[in-house]
Structure 1
Amino acid sequence: MLLIGVVMMQILKNFNLKACVVSIGLGLGLSACGAMNAPVQTDNNRQVMPFSDQQNRAGWILNTQVSDEFDSSTLDEDRWYVVGKFENGKPVYKHPDKPNKKVWKGRAPSQFSGRNYRLEDGKLILETRWEPDFPFETEIHKPVFGEAVPYENITTACLIGRRFFTYGYVEIKAKAADAEISSAFWSIGEKLEIDFFELFGDGREGDKDHLDRQLWWSVRDWSPAVRGKPTYTEKKDLGFRVADDFHVYGFEWDESGIKYYVDGKLFSQVTAEEVTEWARENREVPADYNGYVATKPISLWLDQETFPWHGIPDSLEDLEKNSPEGEKHDGVVDYEIEYVRVWQKPQHINQ
């Protein structure tokens, strides 16, 4: 029966149909459906491919279970968990798949609000708001990094992917918010964090004027050995302000290492061995420590955060310093995302 099911799925795949119908009917499980779904189509009815590999020489297969074009009128909440959705006038922090696990409320002084996003013109827009009357968490928490400060004044958005995958090509087309706010795209796995980027939209004058052109990405180990510090990180000048326009950021990730692409061109790369070497040189770890911890399933995160070490908006006017005329008093700045796409190699599907 299993062999028949596999053959039937391949036949349906060749006819560009959803093979998961067969897998469900034969009791093969839902896990096969993700990679077998009919691929997302562009406006001119061509299959979308990584911006750096338009001819698909690498043989990528789009994972439609974690990718999102954001072209619907409502957010797919089977795909994304909206952190801080409101119930009875208050934000609730309870993950639908992990109801007993503590949900992070954001980096103080900002707090995640489930009202801070919208879908508009085929884009997902995450909002940072100047919102002093928000029902903020009153307890002051000591963060892993930085000083303990209260939640106040600023609300942000956070969406967490509800499905996991291991290895692939992760791509986002986005424009950072033009403010003293981080616009981030990252991921979490078991004792693992991969930060694809943390873009700071407004680098003020002086020693911070480079921040709004900087790509900051990291691999982090949350085991006791390192406790969340990067086992590898880079901060590089992109050559453009991240809040001025949309750009495509691509992250190719597998057992051997990572390649980073910006607007389709290779921007940086590191091998698994080089990550371990960096970790041993920069962290207090045993001589046999393996720093390449990016080997486990991850789920995607999209959010905004305040970075106290870079600077925090201290008023509505400060938050909206760079907003267009006519929008400087609405108390909202936008992080815009046109799409998130994930492709995988056949050998990594369903890992």
Structure 2
Amino acid sequence: MSRLGTIGARLYRGEVGYDFVGKRKIWYAVSILITITAIVGLAVSGLNMGIEFKGGAVFTTPKTSVSVAQAQEFAEEASGHPAIVQKLGNDTLRIQVSELDTAQANTVGKQLAEDLNITGEINAELVGPSWGEQIANKAWTGLGVFMILVVVYLAIAFEWRMALAALVALIHDITITVGIYALVGFEVTPGTVIGLLTILGYSLYDTVVVFDSLKEGTKDITKQTRWTYSEIANRSINGTLVRSINTTVVALLPVAGLLFIGGGFLGAGMLNDISLSLFVGLAAGAYSSIFIATPLVADLKEREPAMKALKKRVLAKRAAAAARGESAEDASEDVPGEPQDALPGAAATAGAVVGQRGRGRGRPSPGKRR
């Protein structure tokens, strides 16, 4: 078994772990800071909307040796408007100029052919802003329907607290992705909208995996006094951590290929737009499923009277064990007459940290006879 597989198995059994839930205030602070930065960037810089949303003309040139910078300069001089130039894979250029009508587009096209010293015809395509507006409206409608369906499904399959936490994580991912577009100045195109809608499913996938593990681990939780809800939630994150990392990396690799090879080297504009939003959204989704969604569920559950009472019993049991000179591991061991199916896997120290080993079920502690 590989080293990563060995670590994953030990995480699943609870032999090692990291206290994600216990340090949730740090993750909340980091997420709030990132979100505020994204919102400020969005408010100050705004989104760089593509020509499909503003209207204008798209010129496609034949094969040329003119550089992108030179073509952009010529296009802006000919049109009087800012221009976006992309070099395509066959040494042709795609020049976008906003706010041009048919007559202006014809004039600009002729001037570009002269400036770029092109003998062939420059293909000009006009784009109306109403088309982009329709796409935006449909995207908002799809986003709203998706959010509602997600909340309803998770509330039925799990519970409303998990549905609320998943919704917060989704909003968190979308806000960060849109904020990065505003801060860096990436162009927003229909491909960007497609990518944003696509990342919602990826973001939700890891969250549901952890929630399913948490649901299984908290069956009959109030019938035991070995772990609190937050501690079981933390074990659920650790138990699925390697799987989340693997699925995220596997998803990011082809997206990175589309972004850096398809968009960077081949100059495929639509591929670049879709893959860029996917890349940012996948990374944000992996973060939110581990650091936001599950800790938030633990916070909400710990407010319940039953969970508060359970926490008191667990802490009282550990305090009594400490008074007898026993370790926290001894306090977490099986007790005769106490249900042992509250948490699948081997017994482990509550809130274990990486490198700390837990004893298996039924193994006596040193100096303790059965």
Is the TM-score greater than 0.5?
A: no
1 or 2 for the larger relative contact order (CA 8 Å, sep ≥6)? 2
Bigger strand share: 1
Q: TM-score band (shorter)? A: under 0.3
Given the two structures, how large is their TM-score scaled by the length of structure 2?
0.24
Q: Which has the higher helix share?
A: 2
Q: TM-score, normalised by structure 1?
A: 0.25
